Amino acid sequence: MKKTLALILAACMSLSLAACGGGNSSAPAASSKPATSQPAASQPAAGGDTKTVGIAMPTQSLERWNRDGAYLDEQFKAAGYNTIVTYSDNKNEQQVNDIQNMLSQGVDLLVIAAIDGNGLNTVMNDAGAAGVPVIAYDRLIMNDNSTYYVSFDNYTVGKLQGEYVRDALDLDNAAGPFNMEFTAGDPADNNAPFFFNGAMDVMKPYIDSGKVVVPSGQTAFDAVATDQWQTDVALDRAQNVLASFYADGTKLDAWLCSNDSTSMGVTQAVTQDYAGGNAVVITGQDGDVANLRNIKDGKQSMTVYKAVANEAVVTLDLAKAILEGKTADASLISASGWDFDCAYDTESYETTPGHKCPSFLLVPDVVTADNMEEKLVTPGYYVVGADGYLEATNG
Ligand code: BGC
């Protein structure tokens, strides 16, 4: 069995049905990990000097992090490491405490998906002083003690969303003008501007030429950002925009959302409050189960899928190399045997001006109603449930 699929099946066995089976993307998904920030130390593996890896995830209230936490925990344990896994309820202070506790417990390496990329300086400096390597997981930590960064190509995620809207509206051929709005992510998340810029770079020429109009006038990242990626925050803003700029019958053609939790709020607002009869093109990211239902039902148009199981594979192999004192650069990819693409990038991500963080970047993919089964079911990430909708694999 391929390395990736074996991992997914193993990891999903540790997820409860609720975590695998979905629910609203803004609702906590149950998992085998505690919902509190209390560190959950795994049983020591055999052997005297078993190394311990601290895995700090942001929250269980956004679906994907439950998957990431479970995959990482499962993999590191299977490779013989002790693990400590925390979820910090999207509170920066809590994550600082959680990481501090891990350092006190003598972890050998940290894997951190930061809540606030600028909010971890104290613990990152402590980790640096203690010689504990840190893998910034998915979200870059803006501190030079970030030893490596493992993520997807975040700019490309946004670019894929922009290109989807461009093609769905046939902007190069249709007369237009078309009306669209934007919803971006959390300003504390270093990824969020990458997603937004990738999308905006595709859309801007059409906005500049007048082919695309943004009736709200809100085209700057700060104006369309969503605190903590919350569904309710995205919903509120979308309702306000619809009431202020579309209540007079103005047609809405597309709403570019940076991810699925925000897309969920926008889709709800459009479904309830938009009076027009046309289908609105709405984008997303992550493949959250509730959003996949909306895609199948035609309420959301696409999601950019990132195989987080593969992100965990890269993280484990990188961590092993670091802990064993081996070279961790592009040669890790050639020697890996991974059955997916990954690029080694030493240019794109800076933790402080001029200080680049070596990065391993995986490749995101577009999922629609038409290719959902091919992209998600065939590789084993999801199964088709009894009701015909996709459910995450539960072993
Ligand atoms: C991740 C996205 C996710 C978002 C909210 C970002 O940092 O890259 O996959 O949708 O956080 O959880």
Contacts of 4 (CB under 8 A, 6+ apart): 307, 309, 310, 313, 338, 339, 340, 379, 380
141 & 12 share domain: yes
**Which of the two residues, 225 and 32, has the higher pLDDT score?**
225
In three-state secondary structure terms, 255 is strand
34 or 296: whose pLDDT is higher? 296
Q: Is 189 in the pocket of ligand 1 (CB under 6 A)?
A: yes
354 in the same domain as 281: no
Regarding whether 115 and 57 lie in a shared domain, the answer is yes
Say if residues 199 and 162 touch (Cβ distance below 8 Å). Answer: yes
The domain of 280 spans 154-285
* Residue range 58-74, pLDDT digits in tens: 999 999 999 999 999 99
Q: Please say whether the beta carbons of 366 and 160 come within 8 A.
A: yes
Atom in ligand 1 nearest the alpha carbon of residue 139: 7
Both 127 and 158 in one domain: the answer is: no
Q: What is the pLDDT of residues 75-84, one digit of tens each?
A: 999 999 999 9
Residue 74, in any domain of the structure: yes
Q: What is the mean pLDDT of residues 323-349?
A: 94
Q: Give residue 297's pLDDT.
A: 97
Tokens found for residue 289: 């189960």
Q: Are residues 244 and 346 in the same domain?
A: no
Q: Is the pLDDT score of 32 beyond 90?
A: no
Residues 116, 72 share a domain: yes
Q: What's the total number of domains in the chain?
A: 2
Please identify, by atom number, the ligand 1 atom nearest to the C-alpha of residue 152.
Answer: 8
pLDDT score at 48: 58
State the Cα–Cα distance between residues 171 and 303, nearest whole angstrom. Answer: 20
Please give the Cα distance from 231 to 3 (Å, whole number): 34
> Ligand 1 center to residue 264 CA distance, Å?
14
Nearest to 182 by CA among 207, 155, 154: 207
Q: Does the pLDDT of residue 114 top 70, yes or no?
A: yes
SS (H, E, C) 111-149: EECCCCCCCCHHHHHHHHHHCCCEEEECCCCCCCCCCEE
Tell me the best of 152, 229, 231, 308 to mutate to test the pocket of ligand 1, counting ligand atoms within 8 Å of each CB and taking the most.
229
Count of alpha carbons within 13 Å of 254, Cβ hemisphere only?
30
The pTM score is: 0.89
Query: Which of 40-44, 313-317, 340-344 is predicted with the least confidence, judged by mean pLDDT?
Result: 40-44
Q: Is the CB of 67 under 6 A from ligand 1?
A: no
Tell whether 110 and 196 lie within a shared domain.
Answer: no
- Looking at the structure, do residues 139 and 165 belong to the same domain, yes or no? no
Q: Whose Cα sits closest to atom 12 in ligand 1?
A: 62
> Does residue 71 share a domain with residue 122?
yes
pLDDT in tens, 115-124: 999 999 999 9
Ligand 1 atom nearest 151 alpha carbon: 8
Q: Where residue 12 sits, what CATH number does that domain have?
A: 3.40.50.2300
Indicate if 163 and 265 belong to the same structural domain. yes
Instruction: Clarify whether residues 10 and 96 are in a common domain.
Output: yes
Across the range 321-339, mean pLDDT stands at 94
